Amino acid sequence: MKRSEFIKSSLLAGAAFAGGTSAIAGSPSIKKAGKNFNLNYAPHQGTFANHAGKNFLDQIRFMYDQGFRAIEDNGYLNRSKEEQESIGNLLDKLGMQMGVFVITLGYNNQIGLTTGKQEFTDDFLNKCRQSVEAAKRCNAKWLTVVPGAYERKLPLDMQTAHVIEALRKGAELLEPQNLIMVLEPLSDTPEQFLRFSHQTYMICKAVNSPSCKILYDIYHMQKNEGNIINNMKMCWDEIAYIQIGDNPGRKEPTTGEINYKNVFKFIYDKGYKGIMGMEHGNSQKGKEGETALINAYREVDSFV
């Protein structure tokens, strides 16, 4: 499942705000969890649509009932101001956190910041400014940034320099607002410029700002480099956000090859207090699949 599918889902969801109801649709087959998880896992829109209905606000309420205390919303920046405020107000009422939303869309083989062209830098900085106001509506802190694809006409080091220069300018806008852009290396295509944790670590060190850190997506990094725990150790001081997805398939933990219970124990033992974004699909359809997802998280979260 590619991030573009998450974005598309979010953009199509606007009607759900108008058409939804305040009551949870159907009769959930899962009992309320009664306790929070050991780590702060964050579902996204659609994860529990079969239990909670199409309305995203109802889905958030259902997430809360199951013990989740954060959400992710990749397409949040493209929502209306009214939708953003509705999400923010509900999160505040429930005491939940907002995870990342995407502020750059350079992941579909599109060149961008690697080129050094002013038009791409200007677009990136405009999205940073737009994100400052949008983030206030839901008390968001983390913004996903993807530099885009390789510019094959330029040497690799020149492309890296262009990316660093643009990110420094973005950090200058975000740092006074206490916002953090988290750079995400991806595995969707070899055309992506940012693909490895050590590469992202080097760029963060070069930008040298508390507003430029790593988004470590375990699914993507398992595909690109493996050796998850050791690589996280090496990059730990620059990791500000973590995302989840098993491999192969990009579904919930326990459906693939990653020993998530061990990975989560490592993260917990490191003292990580941030959000763990559930950026994956459900391995099964319907309410049964949503129940299986919750049970899988209860299983891998039982590392204490």
CATH code of the domain containing 238: 3.20.20.150
Token pair belonging to 60: 């958030």
Cα–Cα–Cα angle for 16, 48, 92, nearest 5°? 70
User: pLDDT digit string (tens) for 216-229?
Assistant: 999 999 999 999 99
User: pLDDT digit string (tens) for 84-106?
Assistant: 999 999 999 999 999 999 997 66
Q: What is the mean pLDDT of the chain?
A: 91
Given pLDDT bands bounded at 50, 70 and 90, which one contains residue 28? very low
Q: What's the pLDDT score for residue 238? A: 98
Residue 17 lies in a domain: no
Given pLDDT bands bounded at 50, 70 and 90, which one contains residue 24? very low
SS (H, E, C) the chain: CCHHHHHHHHHCCHHHHHHCCCCCCCCCCCCCCCCCCCCEEECCCCCCHHHHCCCHHHHHHHHHHCCCCEECCCCHHHCCHHHHHHHHHHHHHHCCEECCEECCCCCCCCECHHHCCHHHHHHHHHHHHHHHHHHHCCCCCEEEECCCECCCCCCHHHHHHHHHHHHHHHHHHHHHHCCEEEECCCCCCCCECCCCHHHHHHHHHHHCCCCEEEEEEHHHHHHHCCCHHHHHHHHHHHEEEEECCCCCCCCCCCCCCCCHHHHHHHHHHCCCCCEEECCCCCCCCHHHHHHHHHHHHHHHCCCC
Residue 167 lies in a domain: yes
Number of domains forming the structure of the chain: 1
Given pLDDT bands bounded at 50, 70 and 90, which one contains residue 116? very high
Given pLDDT bands bounded at 50, 70 and 90, which one contains residue 108? low
C-alpha 266/C-alpha 235 separation (Å) is: 14
Report which of 260, 250, 273 is spatially closest to residue 229, judged by C-alpha positions: 260
Residue 24 lies in a domain: no
User: pLDDT digit string (tens) for 173-217?
Assistant: 999 999 999 999 999 999 999 999 999 999 999 999 999 999 999
Tell which phi-psi region holds residue 118, choosing left (phi > 0), alpha (psi between -120 and 50) or beta: alpha
Mean pLDDT of 60-82: 96
Residue 18 lies in a domain: no
Task: Check: CB of residue 164 under 8 Å from CB of residue 121.
Answer: no
Residue 21 lies in a domain: no
Report which of 253, 174, 236, 158 is spatially closest to residue 210, judged by C-alpha positions: 174
Residue 183 lies in a domain: yes
Given pLDDT bands bounded at 50, 70 and 90, which one contains residue 109? confident
C-alpha 188/C-alpha 266 separation (Å) is: 26
Task: Check: CB of residue 145 under 8 Å from CB of residue 170.
Answer: yes
Domain range holding 218? Answer: 3-12+30-300
- pLDDT over threshold 90, residue 33: no
Residue 285 lies in a domain: yes
Q: What's the pLDDT score for residue 5? A: 53
Residue 95 lies in a domain: yes
